C-alpha cells in the first residue's frame, strides 16, 4: 500500500471528512493492526464496565517488542472476522466516546519533541493519505486545530505523551531488551490497572513508602491518577528514579 504523508500545521484546513455517506465507511475498522496505549485500555475498560484483566483477556493480545522487550497490547484477531475491530458495528463505532487515540487522530500522524531546558512540548502533524480512504478532498471549513478539538483528543495526547516520555527514559537509562520480570512490572502498572490497584491496597505493594493520604485516595478512586502513579512507579522500579509522592 502506498501512503503519502503530507506535513500540515494547525492553521492548515483539514480537507477530510469521515462519515457514513462515504463508500468506504467502516473499512478502516475491518483490517486493523492497532496497538493500544495504557490510556486507551483505561478508557475502553471503563466504558465497558469491566475490569482491566477481563478487558485485556477478552479483547487483546500481548506481544513484546523484539528489541525493547516492552509489552505491546493489540486488539485480538477474531477467527471469524480477521482483524476487524471488536467494537465496529454496521452503524459505526460502538465505543465512539471512548475510542482509542489513534482512531481520533486518523488520518493525522503526530510527533512531538520536548525541550530539556523548559520541558515545553512541540507538536508536528502530517496527513496520511491512504488509497482506500474516500474521506479525502472533502471540505469541512475547519482548520487542523479545530478538527482536532472536535475529536476530543487532547486528553489522550496528554496521557500518551507520558508513555512516550517513559519509553524515552528507558532508552536512555536501560537500552536494550527488558527481561521478563521488568516487562511484568511495566505491564502491571500501565495496563492491568485494577490488579495494580489491588496489589497496592490489598497486598501492601507500597509498604516500604509513606504515602500521603490524599494521594492514596486519588489512586484508589481515579484511574487516571492511578495510571500517572503507575508510570512514576515504573520509573522508580526499573530506572531508579525517585518515586513522586506529592501528586
List pLDDT tens digits, range 63-79. 999 999 999 999 998 77
Structure confidence at residue 55 (pLDDT) = 98
CB 23 within 8 A of CB 134: yes
Rounded Cα distance between 141 and 213, Å, is 49
User: pLDDT at residue 247 above 80?
Assistant: no
Mean pLDDT, all residues of the chain: 92
User: pLDDT at residue 19 above 90?
Assistant: no
Mean per-residue pLDDT, 116-126: 89
Q: What does the angle CA 165 – CA 216 – CA 214 come to, to the nearest 5 degrees?
A: 100
Whether a cis peptide bond, with omega within 30° of 0, leads into 107 is yes
Scan for cell 492553521, then name that residue. 11
User: pLDDT at residue 3 above 60?
Assistant: no
Mean per-residue pLDDT, 108-123: 89
Per-residue HEC secondary structure of the chain comes to CCCEEEEECCCCECCECCCCCCCCCCHHHCCCCCEECHHHHHHHHHHHCCCHHHHHHHHEEEEECCCCCCEEEEECCECCCECCCCCEECCEECCHHHCCHHHHHCCEEEEEEECCCCCCEEEEEEEEECCCCCCECCCCCCEHHHHHHHCCCHHHHHHHHHHHHHHHHHHHHCCCCCCHHHHHHHHHHHCCHHHHHHHHHHCCCCCCCCCCHHHHHHHHHCHHHHHHHHHHHHHHHHHCCCCCCCC
Mean per-residue pLDDT, 154-177: 94
User: pLDDT at residue 1 above 50?
Assistant: no
pLDDT band of 2, cuts 50, 70, 90: very low
Contacts of 172 by beta carbon, 8 Å cutoff, 6+ apart: none
CB 16 within 8 A of CB 135: yes
The C-alpha R_g of the chain, in whole angstroms, comes to 19
Report the percent of the chain where pLDDT is more than 90. 72
Mean per-residue pLDDT, 139-150: 93
pLDDT band of 115, cuts 50, 70, 90: confident
Mean per-residue pLDDT, 215-239: 96
Mean per-residue pLDDT, 124-151: 91
Q: Which of 148, 132, 151 is nearest to 30 (CA)?
A: 132
Structure confidence at residue 70 (pLDDT) = 95
pLDDT band of 246, cuts 50, 70, 90: low
How far from 91 is each of 61, 94, 103, CA to CA, in Å? 26, 8, 16
CB 111 within 8 A of CB 72: no
CB 41 within 8 A of CB 56: yes
Rounded Cα distance between 36 and 192, Å, is 13
Report the percent of the chain where pLDDT is more than 70. 98
Structure confidence at residue 215 (pLDDT) = 94
- 233 or 28: which leads in pLDDT: 233
Amino acid at each position: 500500500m502506498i501512503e503519502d504523508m503530507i506535513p500540515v500545521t494547525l492553521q492548515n484546513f483539514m480537507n477530510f471528512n469521515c462519515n457514513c455517506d462515504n463508500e468506504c465507511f467502516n473499512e478502516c475498522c475491518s483490517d486493523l493492526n492497532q496497538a493500544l496505549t495504557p490510556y486507551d485500555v483505561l478508557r475502553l475498560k471503563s466504558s465497558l464496565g469491566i475490569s482491566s484483566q477481563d478487558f485485556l483477556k477478552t479483547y487483546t493480545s500481548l506481544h513484546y517488542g523484539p528489541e525493547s522487550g516492552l509489552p505491546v497490547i493489540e486488539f485480538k484477531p477474531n477467527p471469524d472476522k480477521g482483524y476487524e475491530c471488536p467494537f465496529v458495528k454496521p452503524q459505526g463505532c460502538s465505543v465512539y466516546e471512548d475510542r482509542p487515540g489513534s482512531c481520533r487522530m486518523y488520518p493525522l500522524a503526530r510527533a512531538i519533541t520536548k525541550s530539556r531546558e523548559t520541558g515545553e512540548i512541540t507538536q508536528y502533524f502530517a496527513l496520511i493519505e491512504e488509497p482506500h480512504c474516500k474521506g479525502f478532498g472533502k471540505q469541512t471549513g475547519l482548520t487542523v486545530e479545530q478538527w482536532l478539538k472536535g475529536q476530543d483528543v487532547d486528553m489522550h495526547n496528554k496521557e500518551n505523551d507520558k508513555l512516550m516520555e517513559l519509553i524515552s527514559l528507558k532508552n536512555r537509562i536501560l537500552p536494550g531488551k527488558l527481561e521478563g520480570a521488568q516487562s511484568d512490572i511495566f505491564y502491571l502498572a500501565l495496563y492491568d490497572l485494577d490488579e495494580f490497584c489491588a496489589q497496592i491496597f490489598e497486598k501492601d505493594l507500597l509498604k516500604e513508602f509513606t504515602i500521603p493520604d490524599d494521594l492514596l485516595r486519588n489512586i484508589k478512586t481515579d484511574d487516571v491518577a492511578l495510571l500517572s502513579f503507575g508510570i512514576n512507579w515504573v520509573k522508580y522500579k526499573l530506572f531508579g528514579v525517585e518515586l513522586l509522592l506529592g501528586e
